[in-house]
Protein backbone atom coordinates (compact mmCIF):
# COMPACT_ATOMS: atom_id res chain seq x y z
CA UNK A 1 0.00 0.00 0.00
CA UNK A 2 1.50 3.30 -1.04
CA UNK A 3 0.87 5.95 1.59
CA UNK A 4 2.80 8.82 0.15
CA UNK A 5 4.88 10.14 -2.71
CA UNK A 6 7.60 12.80 -2.76
CA UNK A 7 9.81 14.13 -5.51
CA UNK A 8 12.95 15.57 -3.94
CA UNK A 9 14.81 18.14 -6.03
CA UNK A 10 18.32 17.10 -5.11
CA UNK A 11 20.21 14.02 -4.01
CA UNK A 12 20.77 15.52 -0.55
CA UNK A 13 17.07 16.18 -0.17
CA UNK A 14 16.34 12.61 -1.29
CA UNK A 15 18.77 11.16 1.26
CA UNK A 16 17.31 13.33 4.01
CA UNK A 17 13.80 12.11 3.10
CA UNK A 18 14.86 8.47 2.99
CA UNK A 19 16.42 8.86 6.45
CA UNK A 20 13.39 10.62 7.89
CA UNK A 21 10.83 8.21 6.43
CA UNK A 22 12.73 5.00 7.07
CA UNK A 23 11.75 2.15 7.30
CA UNK A 24 8.71 2.97 5.16
CA UNK A 25 10.65 4.93 2.56
CA UNK A 26 11.09 3.23 -0.79
CA UNK A 27 13.01 4.87 -3.62
CA UNK A 28 11.39 4.70 -7.04
CA UNK A 29 13.34 5.31 -10.25
CA UNK A 30 11.91 3.79 -13.44
CA UNK A 31 9.37 1.81 -11.42
CA UNK A 32 9.30 -1.08 -13.89
CA UNK A 33 9.89 -3.68 -11.16
CA UNK A 34 8.34 -1.72 -8.29
CA UNK A 35 4.96 -1.26 -9.97
CA UNK A 36 4.72 -4.98 -10.66
CA UNK A 37 5.38 -5.66 -6.96
CA UNK A 38 2.80 -3.03 -6.07
CA UNK A 39 0.20 -4.61 -8.32
CA UNK A 40 0.90 -8.08 -6.92
CA UNK A 41 0.46 -6.78 -3.38
CA UNK A 42 4.07 -7.47 -2.43
CA UNK A 43 4.75 -3.99 -1.06
CA UNK A 44 3.95 -3.20 2.54
CA UNK A 45 2.99 0.24 3.68
CA UNK A 46 5.43 2.58 2.00
CA UNK A 47 6.23 6.12 1.06
CA UNK A 48 7.71 6.46 -2.42
CA UNK A 49 10.64 8.80 -2.92
CA UNK A 50 10.94 9.56 -6.63
CA UNK A 51 14.60 9.71 -7.63
CA UNK A 52 14.00 9.35 -11.37
CA UNK A 53 14.84 12.96 -12.20
CA UNK A 54 17.94 13.49 -10.09
CA UNK A 55 20.73 14.71 -12.35
CA UNK A 56 23.27 13.70 -9.70
CA UNK A 57 22.44 10.06 -10.48
CA UNK A 58 23.23 10.44 -14.18
CA UNK A 59 27.01 10.81 -13.96
CA UNK A 60 28.87 9.40 -16.94
CA UNK A 61 32.61 9.94 -17.15
CA UNK A 62 36.05 8.45 -17.42
CA UNK A 63 38.34 9.57 -14.66
CA UNK A 64 41.81 8.21 -13.91
CA UNK A 65 41.22 5.01 -15.80
CA UNK A 66 37.88 4.23 -14.15
CA UNK A 67 34.45 4.59 -15.68
CA UNK A 68 31.85 6.22 -13.44
CA UNK A 69 28.31 5.29 -14.37
CA UNK A 70 25.37 6.95 -12.61
CA UNK A 71 22.85 4.55 -11.09
CA UNK A 72 19.99 6.66 -12.45
CA UNK A 73 20.92 6.10 -16.09
CA UNK A 74 18.23 4.25 -17.99
CA UNK A 75 19.04 1.16 -20.05
CA UNK A 76 18.37 3.24 -23.18
CA UNK A 77 20.81 5.93 -22.02
CA UNK A 78 23.47 3.29 -21.33
CA UNK A 79 22.89 1.75 -24.75
CA UNK A 80 23.32 5.09 -26.52
CA UNK A 81 26.41 6.26 -24.65
CA UNK A 82 29.50 6.49 -26.84
CA UNK A 83 31.76 6.34 -23.78
CA UNK A 84 30.17 3.13 -22.53
CA UNK A 85 30.16 1.51 -25.98
CA UNK A 86 33.90 2.00 -25.98
CA UNK A 87 34.75 1.34 -22.34
CA UNK A 88 31.98 -0.95 -21.03
CA UNK A 89 30.82 -3.07 -23.97
CA UNK A 90 29.22 -5.83 -21.91
CA UNK A 91 27.09 -3.42 -19.91
CA UNK A 92 25.90 -1.85 -23.16
CA UNK A 93 25.01 -5.23 -24.66
CA UNK A 94 23.20 -6.38 -21.52
CA UNK A 95 21.25 -3.10 -21.26
CA UNK A 96 20.15 -3.39 -24.88
CA UNK A 97 18.63 -6.81 -24.12
CA UNK A 98 16.54 -5.79 -21.10
CA UNK A 99 12.76 -6.19 -21.48
CA UNK A 100 11.27 -4.01 -24.20
CA UNK A 101 12.02 -0.51 -25.43
CA UNK A 102 9.25 0.82 -23.16
CA UNK A 103 11.04 -0.69 -20.18
CA UNK A 104 14.54 0.31 -21.31
CA UNK A 105 13.35 3.91 -21.70
CA UNK A 106 12.62 4.29 -17.98
CA UNK A 107 14.24 1.37 -16.11
CA UNK A 108 17.62 2.17 -14.55
CA UNK A 109 20.76 0.15 -13.88
CA UNK A 110 20.67 1.21 -10.21
CA UNK A 111 17.14 -0.12 -9.95
CA UNK A 112 18.10 -3.36 -11.67
CA UNK A 113 20.83 -3.96 -9.09
CA UNK A 114 18.79 -2.80 -6.07
CA UNK A 115 15.92 -5.11 -7.05
CA UNK A 116 18.52 -7.92 -7.14
CA UNK A 117 16.64 -10.46 -9.20
CA UNK A 118 18.69 -13.63 -9.87
CA UNK A 119 17.92 -12.95 -13.56
CA UNK A 120 18.80 -9.23 -13.59
CA UNK A 121 20.55 -8.62 -16.91
CA UNK A 122 22.93 -5.89 -15.86
CA UNK A 123 24.33 -7.63 -12.76
CA UNK A 124 26.45 -10.24 -14.63
CA UNK A 125 27.60 -7.46 -16.95
CA UNK A 126 28.64 -5.22 -14.06
CA UNK A 127 30.42 -8.18 -12.46
CA UNK A 128 32.66 -8.77 -15.47
CA UNK A 129 33.41 -5.06 -15.50
CA UNK A 130 34.49 -5.57 -11.83
CA UNK A 131 32.11 -2.85 -10.69
CA UNK A 132 32.32 -1.14 -7.35
CA UNK A 133 29.11 0.33 -6.02
CA UNK A 134 28.98 3.77 -4.46
CA UNK A 135 26.30 4.00 -1.78
CA UNK A 136 25.14 7.16 -0.10
CA UNK A 137 22.95 7.91 2.86
CA UNK A 138 22.41 10.98 4.99
CA UNK A 139 25.25 9.66 7.17
CA UNK A 140 27.86 9.57 4.43
CA UNK A 141 29.02 7.29 1.67
CA UNK A 142 30.78 3.99 1.19
CA UNK A 143 32.09 1.98 -1.73
CA UNK A 144 31.79 -1.80 -1.92
CA UNK A 145 32.45 -4.47 -4.50
CA UNK A 146 29.21 -5.37 -6.29
CA UNK A 147 29.49 -8.97 -5.03
CA UNK A 148 29.22 -7.71 -1.45
CA UNK A 149 25.89 -6.09 -2.18
CA UNK A 150 24.19 -9.20 -3.55
CA UNK A 151 22.69 -10.76 -0.42
CA UNK A 152 20.30 -13.22 -2.06
CA UNK A 153 17.37 -13.32 -4.45
CA UNK A 154 15.68 -9.88 -4.30
CA UNK A 155 17.91 -8.96 -1.36
CA UNK A 156 20.42 -6.22 -2.00
CA UNK A 157 22.33 -5.49 1.19
CA UNK A 158 21.49 -1.82 1.41
CA UNK A 159 21.35 -0.19 4.82
CA UNK A 160 18.14 1.68 5.68
CA UNK A 161 18.06 5.02 3.92
CA UNK A 162 20.91 4.06 1.62
CA UNK A 163 20.86 4.69 -2.11
CA UNK A 164 23.05 3.36 -4.93
CA UNK A 165 24.41 6.49 -6.58
CA UNK A 166 26.93 5.15 -9.07
CA UNK A 167 29.00 2.23 -10.31
CA UNK A 168 32.74 2.45 -10.84
CA UNK A 169 33.95 0.15 -13.62
CA UNK A 170 37.38 -0.86 -14.83
CA UNK A 171 38.10 0.56 -18.24
CA UNK A 172 37.47 -2.16 -20.82
CA UNK A 173 38.55 -0.26 -23.93
CA UNK A 174 39.93 -2.56 -26.61
CA UNK A 175 38.50 -5.64 -24.93
CA UNK A 176 36.13 -8.11 -26.48
CA UNK A 177 32.77 -8.42 -24.73
CA UNK A 178 29.54 -10.29 -25.13
CA UNK A 179 26.27 -10.81 -23.27
CA UNK A 180 23.99 -13.65 -24.24
CA UNK A 181 20.92 -15.09 -22.69
CA UNK A 182 18.52 -17.94 -23.02
CA UNK A 183 14.87 -17.01 -22.64
CA UNK A 184 11.58 -18.64 -23.47
CA UNK A 185 11.18 -16.21 -26.34
CA UNK A 186 13.45 -13.68 -27.98
CA UNK A 187 11.99 -10.42 -26.70
CA UNK A 188 10.74 -9.45 -23.27
CA UNK A 189 11.72 -12.77 -21.76
CA UNK A 190 13.13 -13.12 -18.30
CA UNK A 191 16.51 -14.80 -18.67
CA UNK A 192 16.54 -18.48 -17.80
CA UNK A 193 20.29 -18.22 -18.01
CA UNK A 194 22.55 -15.38 -19.03
CA UNK A 195 26.28 -15.11 -19.51
CA UNK A 196 28.46 -12.01 -19.51
CA UNK A 197 31.95 -12.35 -20.93
CA UNK A 198 34.83 -9.91 -21.19
CA UNK A 199 38.20 -10.92 -22.60
CA UNK A 200 41.47 -9.71 -24.03
CA UNK A 201 43.67 -11.76 -26.30
CA UNK A 202 47.44 -11.43 -26.34
CA UNK A 203 49.27 -13.02 -29.26
CA UNK A 204 46.42 -15.46 -29.77
CA UNK A 205 46.30 -16.42 -26.09
CA UNK A 206 43.57 -15.41 -23.68
CA UNK A 207 45.34 -12.83 -21.54
CA UNK A 208 42.36 -11.74 -19.49
CA UNK A 209 38.95 -13.33 -19.07
CA UNK A 210 35.98 -12.49 -16.87
CA UNK A 211 32.80 -14.56 -16.92
CA UNK A 212 29.62 -14.09 -14.90
CA UNK A 213 26.51 -16.22 -14.98
CA UNK A 214 22.99 -14.90 -14.36
CA UNK A 215 19.85 -16.82 -13.33
CA UNK A 216 21.84 -19.99 -12.59
CA UNK A 217 22.60 -19.26 -8.95
CA UNK A 218 20.69 -17.38 -6.20
CA UNK A 219 22.50 -14.22 -7.25
CA UNK A 220 24.57 -13.72 -10.40
CA UNK A 221 28.24 -14.53 -9.82
CA UNK A 222 31.64 -14.73 -11.45
CA UNK A 223 32.48 -18.21 -12.73
CA UNK A 224 36.13 -18.46 -11.82
CA UNK A 225 36.62 -22.17 -12.51
CA UNK A 226 35.82 -21.57 -16.18
CA UNK A 227 37.91 -18.40 -16.28
CA UNK A 228 40.95 -20.27 -14.90
CA UNK A 229 40.50 -23.14 -17.32
CA UNK A 230 40.86 -20.83 -20.31
CA UNK A 231 43.36 -18.23 -19.14
CA UNK A 232 46.63 -18.33 -21.04
CA UNK A 233 45.28 -20.77 -23.63
CA UNK A 234 44.92 -20.61 -27.37
CA UNK A 235 41.54 -22.24 -27.03
CA UNK A 236 40.21 -24.97 -29.28
CA UNK A 237 36.52 -25.81 -29.29
CA UNK A 238 37.16 -28.74 -26.94
CA UNK A 239 38.60 -26.30 -24.36
CA UNK A 240 35.37 -24.31 -24.46
CA UNK A 241 33.28 -27.43 -23.81
CA UNK A 242 35.54 -28.30 -20.91
CA UNK A 243 35.23 -24.80 -19.46
CA UNK A 244 31.48 -24.89 -20.02
CA UNK A 245 31.25 -28.11 -18.08
CA UNK A 246 33.33 -26.66 -15.22
CA UNK A 247 31.02 -23.66 -15.12
CA UNK A 248 27.95 -25.89 -15.03
CA UNK A 249 29.48 -27.83 -12.12
CA UNK A 250 30.25 -24.60 -10.28
CA UNK A 251 26.65 -23.47 -10.82
CA UNK A 252 25.25 -26.73 -9.42
CA UNK A 253 27.63 -26.73 -6.46
CA UNK A 254 26.40 -23.24 -5.50
CA UNK A 255 22.68 -23.77 -6.15
CA UNK A 256 22.37 -27.40 -5.12
CA UNK A 257 20.33 -29.81 -7.21
CA UNK A 258 17.06 -28.31 -8.40
CA UNK A 259 14.27 -29.52 -10.67
CA UNK A 260 15.76 -27.44 -13.48
CA UNK A 261 19.32 -28.73 -12.98
CA UNK A 262 19.26 -31.34 -15.75
CA UNK A 263 18.31 -28.68 -18.23
CA UNK A 264 20.36 -25.82 -16.87
CA UNK A 265 23.58 -27.86 -16.62
CA UNK A 266 23.61 -28.56 -20.33
CA UNK A 267 22.22 -25.15 -21.22
CA UNK A 268 24.92 -23.35 -19.20
CA UNK A 269 27.62 -25.39 -20.88
CA UNK A 270 26.20 -24.69 -24.34
CA UNK A 271 25.74 -21.02 -23.54
CA UNK A 272 29.41 -20.67 -22.66
CA UNK A 273 30.52 -22.43 -25.84
CA UNK A 274 28.22 -20.36 -28.02
CA UNK A 275 29.24 -17.10 -26.35
CA UNK A 276 32.99 -17.68 -26.47
CA UNK A 277 33.24 -19.12 -30.02
CA UNK A 278 34.67 -15.83 -31.34
CA UNK A 279 37.66 -16.35 -29.01
CA UNK A 280 38.76 -19.50 -30.82
CA UNK A 281 42.08 -19.46 -32.61
CA UNK A 282 40.39 -19.26 -36.00
CA UNK A 283 37.38 -17.24 -34.71
CA UNK A 284 36.73 -13.93 -36.37
CA UNK B 1 -11.87 7.76 5.18
CA UNK B 2 -8.84 7.86 2.96
CA UNK B 3 -5.71 8.70 4.94
CA UNK B 4 -3.53 8.92 1.85
CA UNK B 5 -2.36 12.31 0.72
CA UNK B 6 -3.26 13.43 -2.79
CA UNK B 7 -0.64 14.94 -5.02
CA UNK B 8 -1.34 17.80 -7.34
CA UNK B 9 0.26 17.42 -10.75
CA UNK B 10 0.11 19.30 -14.02
CA UNK B 11 1.29 18.13 -17.41
CA UNK B 12 0.63 18.58 -21.11
CA UNK B 13 -1.76 15.97 -22.44
CA UNK B 14 -2.30 15.76 -26.19
CA UNK B 15 -1.30 19.39 -26.52
CA UNK B 16 -3.33 20.77 -23.61
CA UNK B 17 -2.34 21.69 -20.08
CA UNK B 18 -4.12 19.52 -17.55
CA UNK B 19 -4.13 19.41 -13.78
CA UNK B 20 -5.04 16.46 -11.62
CA UNK B 21 -4.95 15.30 -8.04
CA UNK B 22 -3.58 11.79 -7.89
CA UNK B 23 -3.07 9.13 -5.25
CA UNK B 24 0.54 8.22 -4.47
CA UNK B 25 0.19 4.66 -5.77
CA UNK B 26 -2.01 5.46 -8.75
CA UNK B 27 -0.70 4.41 -12.15
CA UNK B 28 -0.53 6.73 -15.14
CA UNK B 29 -2.75 4.19 -16.91
CA UNK B 30 -5.47 4.54 -14.28
CA UNK B 31 -5.39 8.33 -14.37
CA UNK B 32 -5.50 8.57 -18.17
CA UNK B 33 -8.02 5.85 -18.87
CA UNK B 34 -10.37 5.76 -15.90
CA UNK B 35 -10.30 9.35 -14.73
CA UNK B 36 -9.52 11.39 -17.83
CA UNK B 37 -11.55 9.11 -20.11
CA UNK B 38 -8.87 8.34 -22.66
CA UNK B 39 -10.05 4.86 -23.57
CA UNK B 40 -7.34 4.43 -26.18
CA UNK B 41 -5.00 3.64 -23.29
CA UNK B 42 -5.63 -0.08 -22.85
CA UNK B 43 -4.79 -2.32 -19.95
CA UNK B 44 -3.69 -5.66 -21.32
CA UNK B 45 -1.42 -7.43 -18.84
CA UNK B 46 -0.78 -4.69 -16.29
CA UNK B 47 2.84 -5.82 -15.82
CA UNK B 48 4.65 -4.34 -18.79
CA UNK B 49 4.68 -7.33 -21.07
CA UNK B 50 2.07 -6.57 -23.74
CA UNK B 51 2.47 -2.88 -24.58
CA UNK B 52 -1.26 -2.22 -25.00
CA UNK B 53 -0.96 0.65 -22.51
CA UNK B 54 1.93 2.33 -24.33
CA UNK B 55 1.91 6.13 -24.26
CA UNK B 56 4.53 8.64 -25.35
CA UNK B 57 6.09 10.65 -22.53
CA UNK B 58 8.61 13.33 -23.51
CA UNK B 59 8.93 11.67 -26.92
CA UNK B 60 9.69 8.24 -25.50
CA UNK B 61 7.42 5.20 -25.57
CA UNK B 62 6.66 3.94 -22.05
CA UNK B 63 4.27 1.48 -20.44
CA UNK B 64 1.66 3.56 -18.60
CA UNK B 65 0.85 0.56 -16.38
CA UNK B 66 4.38 0.72 -14.93
CA UNK B 67 4.49 4.45 -14.38
CA UNK B 68 3.04 6.40 -11.50
CA UNK B 69 0.53 9.08 -12.39
CA UNK B 70 2.56 11.42 -10.16
CA UNK B 71 5.57 10.86 -12.42
CA UNK B 72 3.76 12.55 -15.31
CA UNK B 73 4.15 15.92 -13.61
CA UNK B 74 5.71 18.44 -15.97
CA UNK B 75 5.82 16.00 -18.87
CA UNK B 76 4.54 16.11 -22.42
CA UNK B 77 2.17 13.17 -22.84
CA UNK B 78 0.67 11.78 -26.01
CA UNK B 79 -2.05 9.15 -26.23
CA UNK B 80 -3.66 7.84 -29.39
CA UNK B 81 -6.43 10.42 -28.94
CA UNK B 82 -3.84 13.13 -29.62
CA UNK B 83 -2.51 11.59 -32.79
CA UNK B 84 -5.37 12.65 -35.01
CA UNK B 85 -5.56 16.33 -35.98
CA UNK B 86 -8.57 18.48 -36.96
CA UNK B 87 -7.53 17.85 -40.57
CA UNK B 88 -7.90 14.11 -40.23
CA UNK B 89 -6.13 10.96 -39.25
CA UNK B 90 -2.40 10.89 -38.66
CA UNK B 91 -0.35 9.38 -41.53
CA UNK B 92 0.41 6.40 -39.28
CA UNK B 93 -3.29 5.78 -38.75
CA UNK B 94 -3.93 6.10 -42.50
CA UNK B 95 -1.17 3.63 -43.22
CA UNK B 96 -2.51 1.14 -40.66
CA UNK B 97 -5.89 1.25 -42.41
CA UNK B 98 -4.43 0.89 -45.87
CA UNK B 99 -2.16 -2.00 -44.94
CA UNK B 100 -4.82 -3.90 -42.99
CA UNK B 101 -2.58 -3.62 -39.95
CA UNK B 102 -5.57 -3.86 -37.61
CA UNK B 103 -7.69 -6.84 -36.79
CA UNK B 104 -9.25 -6.78 -33.34
CA UNK B 105 -7.67 -3.40 -32.68
CA UNK B 106 -6.76 -3.87 -29.05
CA UNK B 107 -3.01 -3.49 -29.60
CA UNK B 108 -3.38 -0.73 -32.18
CA UNK B 109 -3.13 2.41 -29.99
CA UNK B 110 0.03 1.07 -28.36
CA UNK B 111 1.49 0.05 -31.73
CA UNK B 112 0.77 3.48 -33.19
CA UNK B 113 2.43 5.24 -30.28
CA UNK B 114 5.54 3.03 -30.27
CA UNK B 115 5.80 3.64 -34.01
CA UNK B 116 5.25 7.37 -33.54
CA UNK B 117 8.04 7.64 -30.95
CA UNK B 118 10.35 5.71 -33.25
CA UNK B 119 9.69 7.89 -36.28
CA UNK B 120 10.01 11.10 -34.25
CA UNK B 121 13.46 10.00 -33.05
CA UNK B 122 14.76 8.18 -36.13
CA UNK B 123 13.06 9.65 -39.16
CA UNK B 124 12.76 6.81 -41.64
CA UNK B 125 13.72 3.69 -39.70
CA UNK B 126 14.94 0.44 -41.20
CA UNK B 127 12.75 -2.64 -41.02
CA UNK B 128 14.99 -4.04 -38.26
CA UNK B 129 14.64 -0.84 -36.26
CA UNK B 130 10.87 -1.03 -36.58
CA UNK B 131 10.78 -4.65 -35.46
CA UNK B 132 12.97 -3.85 -32.47
CA UNK B 133 10.96 -0.76 -31.48
CA UNK B 134 7.68 -2.70 -31.66
CA UNK B 135 8.97 -5.79 -29.86
CA UNK B 136 7.31 -4.61 -26.66
CA UNK B 137 3.87 -4.50 -28.30
CA UNK B 138 2.15 -7.84 -28.67
CA UNK B 139 -0.41 -8.48 -31.40
CA UNK B 140 -2.20 -11.82 -31.40
CA UNK B 141 -4.07 -11.27 -34.67
CA UNK B 142 -2.10 -9.84 -37.53
CA UNK B 143 1.21 -11.69 -37.48
CA UNK B 144 3.00 -8.28 -37.44
CA UNK B 145 3.95 -8.10 -41.13
CA UNK B 146 1.20 -5.66 -42.05
CA UNK B 147 2.04 -3.53 -39.04
CA UNK B 148 5.71 -3.27 -39.96
CA UNK B 149 4.74 -2.48 -43.57
CA UNK B 150 2.39 0.25 -42.38
CA UNK B 151 5.00 1.87 -40.14
CA UNK B 152 7.57 1.83 -42.92
CA UNK B 153 5.11 3.38 -45.34
CA UNK B 154 4.01 6.05 -42.86
CA UNK B 155 7.62 6.95 -42.05
CA UNK B 156 8.32 7.58 -45.71
CA UNK B 157 5.19 9.73 -46.02
CA UNK B 158 6.08 11.69 -42.91
CA UNK B 159 9.69 12.26 -43.96
CA UNK B 160 10.39 15.92 -44.40
CA UNK B 161 7.02 16.99 -43.07
CA UNK B 162 6.85 19.12 -39.99
CA UNK B 163 5.70 17.19 -36.93
CA UNK B 164 4.75 20.34 -35.07
CA UNK B 165 1.85 19.23 -32.96
CA UNK B 166 3.82 18.63 -29.77
Least confidently predicted of A60-64, A156-160, A188-192, B77-81:
A188-192
**Chain B residues touching chain A at CB-CB below 8 Å:** 3-5, 7, 23-25, 27, 46-49, 51, 54, 60-63, 65-68, 70-71, 73, 114, 132-133, 135-137
Angle at B65 between CA B61 and CA B67, to 5 degrees: 70
- Choose among B134, B146, B48, B155: nearest CA to B102: B146
A122-129: average pLDDT:
98
| pLDDT tens string A45-83 | 999 999 999 999 999 999 999 999 999 999 999 999 999
| pLDDT tens string A214-267 | 999 999 999 999 999 999 999 999 999 999 999 999 999 999 988 888 999 999
| pLDDT tens string B120-159 | 998 999 999 999 999 999 999 988 999 999 999 999 999 8
Residues from chain A that touch B24, judged by Cβ atoms under 8 A, are 2-5, 47-48
Contact A66, A46 (CB under 8 A): no
How far apart are alpha carbons A11 and A28 in whole angstroms? 13
B37-54: average pLDDT:
97
A183 touches chain B (CB under 8 A): no
pTM: 0.95
Residues from chain B that touch A103, judged by Cβ atoms under 8 A, are 48, 63, 66, 136
Position A260 scores a pLDDT of: 86
Position A191 scores a pLDDT of: 77
CATH superfamily of B7-82: Beta-grasp domain (3.10.20.30)
pLDDT at A282 over 70: no
- C-alpha distances out from residue A205 to A173, A230, A245, A279, Å: 18, 9, 21, 9
Q: Where in chain B is the domain with CATH 3.10.20.30?
A: 7-82
Contact B107, B143 (CB under 8 A): no
CATH class of the domain at B91-158: mainly alpha
Position A1 scores a pLDDT of: 87
Nearest Cα residue in chain B from A3: B4
**CB under 8 Å to A263, separation ≥6 — which residues?**
none
Residues from chain A that touch B51, judged by Cβ atoms under 8 A, are 100, 102
- Which domains can be identified in chain A, with CATH numbers? 2-49 (3.30.43), 58-170 (3.30.465.10), 176-279 (3.30.390.50)
Strands B7-13 and B16-22: antiparallel
Nearest Cα residue in chain A from B111: A102
| pLDDT tens string B72-102 | 999 999 999 999 998 999 999 999 999 999 9
Position B1 scores a pLDDT of: 39
- In total, the C-beta contacts within 8 angstroms joining chain A to chain B are 90
ipTM of this predicted complex?
0.94
Q: What percent of chain B has pLDDT over 70?
A: 93
Using only the alpha carbons of chain B, give its radius of gyration: 16
A76-100: average pLDDT:
97
Position B164 scores a pLDDT of: 45
A138-146: average pLDDT:
97
B68 contacts A28? CB cut-off 8 A: yes
Element (H, E) at B120: helix B108-122
Q: Where in chain B is the domain with CATH 1.10.150.120?
A: 91-158
A7 touches chain B (CB under 8 A): yes
Strands (E), B14-104: 16-22, 54-57, 60-63, 76-78
Task: Report residue B160's pLDDT band, with 50, 70 and 90 as the boundaries.
Answer: low
A124-153: average pLDDT:
98
pLDDT at A177 over 90: yes
Amino acid sequence: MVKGYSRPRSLDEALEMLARLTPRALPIAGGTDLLVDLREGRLGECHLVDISRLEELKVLEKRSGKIRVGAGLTFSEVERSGLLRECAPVLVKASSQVGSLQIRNVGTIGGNVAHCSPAADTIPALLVHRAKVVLRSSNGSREVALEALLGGPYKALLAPGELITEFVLEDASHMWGEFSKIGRRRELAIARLSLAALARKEDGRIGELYLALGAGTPVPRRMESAERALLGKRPQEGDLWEAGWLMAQEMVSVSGPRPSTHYKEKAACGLLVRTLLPLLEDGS
Amino acid sequence: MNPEEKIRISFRLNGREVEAHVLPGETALHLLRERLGLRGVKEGCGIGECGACTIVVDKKAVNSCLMLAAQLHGCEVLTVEGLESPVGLHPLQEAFLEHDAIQCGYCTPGMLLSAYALIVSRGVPTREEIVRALAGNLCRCTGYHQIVDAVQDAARRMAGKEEGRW
